[in-house]
Amino acid sequence: MTCAEAEIVLHALLDGELDAGHAHDVEAHVGNCPRCATQLRAYREMQHAMLAAPLRFTAPTSLRRRIERALPSAPPRVASRRSMLKGFAMGTALSAAIAASLVIGVIRTDQDQRVLGDVFSAHVRSLQADHLTDVQTSDQHTVKPWFNGKVDVAPPVVDLTAQGFTLIGGRLDYIDGRAVASIVYRRRAHMINLFVIPGAASADHGAKLETMQGFNIQRWSAQGLEFFAISDINAEELNEFVEKFEAGFHSTGAT
Partner 1 sequence: MLDRLQSQDLAAPWKDGDDVVVGNGSSDNNDKARRFRDAALPHLDDVYTLARYLLHNGADADDAVQECYLRALRHFDTYRGPAIKPWLFAILRNICRGEFGRRSRAALTMDGETEEDEDAVPLWQDAPVSPEMEMLRQWDANTIRRLVTDLPEPFREAIVLREINDLSYREIADVIGAPVGTVMSRLARARSMLRKAWIAEEGEEGLPT
The least distance separating partner 1 from the CB of residue 81, rounded to whole angstroms, comes to: 9
Please tell me whether residue 68 binds partner 1 under the rule CB under 8 A: yes
Would you say 155 and 183 are in contact if contact means Cβ atoms under 8 Å apart?
Answer: yes
Residue closer to partner 1, measured from CB, 28 or 89: 89
* Binding range to partner 1, per CB under 8 A, among 66-74, 133-141, 148-156, 166-174: 66-74
Q: Is 200 in the site for partner 1 (CB under 8 A)?
A: no
Strand 166-175: give its sheet, edge to edge: 135-136, 166-175, 178-187, 190-198, 225-231, 215-222, 205-212
Does residue number 104 form part of the binding site for partner 1 (CB under 8 A)? yes
Taking alpha carbons only, the member of 137, 132, 142, 180 closest to residue 161 is 137
Question: Considering the rule CB under 8 A, would residue 21 count as an interface residue with partner 1?
Answer: no
* Nearest-approach distance from CB 10 to partner 1, in angstroms: 8
Which residues, 6 or more positions from 68, have their beta carbon under 8 angstroms from its beta carbon?
A: 76
Q: How far apart are CA 54 and CA 233, in angstroms?
A: 34
Closest approach of Cβ 110 to partner 1, in Å?
8
Amino acid occupying residue 208: K
Is residue 53 part of the contact set for partner 1 (CB under 8 A)?
Answer: yes
Return d(Cα 143, Cα 146) in angstroms, integer.
5
Shortest distance, position 138 Cβ to partner 1, whole Å: 28
- The residues near 182 (Cβ < 8 Å, ≥ 6 apart) are 122, 126, 170, 171, 172, 173, 193, 194, 195, 196
- Chain contacts with partner 1 (rule: CB under 8 A): 3-4, 7-9, 11-12, 15, 17, 34-35, 38-39, 41-43, 45-47, 49-51, 53-60, 62-64, 66-68, 70-74, 76, 79, 83-84, 87-88, 90-91, 94, 98, 101-102, 104-106, 109
